[in-house]
Chain A
Amino acid sequence: MEIKEYVRPSSLEEAYQLMRTRHATPLGGCVWLRMNAKPVALGVDLASLDLDYIRDTGDMIEIGAMTTYRSLETSNLLAKQYGKLFPEALSHIVGVQLRATISVGGTVAGRYGFSDLNTTLSALGAKVVLYPGTITDLATFIAEGAESPFLVEKILLPKGVRGAYQQIRITRNDFPILNVAVAWTGSAWRVAVGSRPAATRLCHAAMQMLGSDPCPSDQTIEAASMQAAEETSVGSDIRASHDYRKAVLPVLIRRALLEVRG
């Protein structure tokens, strides 16, 4: 990776101003950025901004942008809130070593099609905080992006949400063919589909069909799973065809819904 000029600021404000005034590129985990052949003219390293944390603020959970996947996967705090959701969503990604470097902020900012984390966060109803303080619904951010330059500071997660994650891959550590996450928020269901192969989208009609009943019947779950497959646009790529994705999608959603409903 070529970084022509490197700065490691000690405040978010400094990092943001470098992005605004000099088109600096924020450096997250750099696991993805480094694959880009294009040199980085000015790299602004986010490593010294104290953005590596997972904390309980009372009414929500905050995750700093430089928190790694490995921290999410091994966090007792997240396990207490969301059970095995994070380990299940992330432990298929390459290996412990890479997950110890990949950052939450780089993942959200990149809005990658294949992202397992963005699907999980979308289902949980996460919000993304962009410095200096814009709070946006994460699923909307993934769908629409934000005006450049933007600096992801942290993610906010609601508490008391139960979620489940499902995926299908050709081999264990490959990119997913499809990933799905669903959640019961306490008052509504959320259903998210990613790796379509495009980026995560919520299935609004299926969510409406599930309504506000924490224990939907098997028939409602079946109908909502079919609806989610119907309303989600999927495509073909090197890993799977459009038809294959359409066939597998309702199965993954049904499994996830059944897991949360119990």
Chain B
Amino acid sequence: MIVTITINGKKESLQIEPGDMLVDTLRNAGHVEVKKGCDTGNCGVCTVLLDGKPIRSCSFLAVRAEGHEITTIQGVAEEARRFADFLNREGADQCGFCAPGFALTVIAMKRELKNPTEEEIRHYLAGNLCRCTGYESQHRAIRNYLEADHA
């Protein structure tokens, strides 16, 4: 079957099987910036935005993306680069594998929550696992990134 999905602002018609998960559809279409991690819904590496809201593309049927807008990290490249500067300054990015899903979730959180508290930030990001950093440096980076807008 063919589905038409707007990916990073561009309409794409893609051949899929009905049981395909979105992560595979996106990667097969060349969007390899979407990473495949645990493939069980646990790690958050495969996060993309569906109409602006974060979902796990490994646990989302591609057929349900028909007519919707999907944003990968490439679709928010400028904002992601800005956030990456804050991560780098805190030494909060190491192997980088979780970074696309993590950065997309942070960007979605920034759009969804106004002045999130520490607790709200931790809750929103709880589903993005990172095996390198131990999270504290990431939290400092997020804080600085959010505060930079209020400075």
Contacts and interface: CB of A to CB of B under 8 A. Distances in A.
A98 B54 CA distance: 9
A181 B63 CA distance: 36
B21 interface: yes
B19 interface: yes
Contacts of B20: 1
Given A30-B61, A35-B40, A172-B126, A97 B47 contact: yes
B126 A100 contact: no
B6 interface: no
B63 A6 contact: yes
B71 to A, nearest CB: 13
A95 B19 contact: no
Interface in A148-207: 172-173
Given A96-B105, A96-B124, A34 B18 contact: no
A70 B64 CA distance: 17
B56 A40 contact: no
Given A3-B18, A34-B21, A98-B41, A27 B55 contact: no
Interface range for B: 20 to 34
B29 to A, nearest CB: 18
A1 to B, nearest CB: 4
Interface string A93-129: 0111110110000000000000000000000000000
Contacts of A173: 42, 126-127
A89 to B, nearest CB: 13
A43 B19 contact: yes
A30 B18 contact: no
B60 interface: yes
A53 to B, nearest CB: 17
B59 interface: yes
Nearest to B109: A96
B61 to A, nearest CB: 6
Given A97-B44, A97-B47, A97-B54, 8 more contacts: A1-B20, A3-B17, A6-B1, A31-B59, A35-B40, A39-B19, A95-B128, A98-B59
16 contacts: A1-B61, A2-B19, A6-B1, A29-B59, A30-B61, A43-B19, A45-B61, A91-B126, A94-B127, A95-B126, A95-B127, A98-B41, A100-B53, A172-B126, A173-B126, A173-B127
Interface of A: 1-3, 5-6, 8, 27, 29-31, 34-35, 39-40, 43, 45, 47, 70, 91, 94-98, 100-101, 172-173
Interface of B: 1, 17-21, 40-42, 44, 47, 50, 53-56, 59-61, 63-64, 105, 123-128
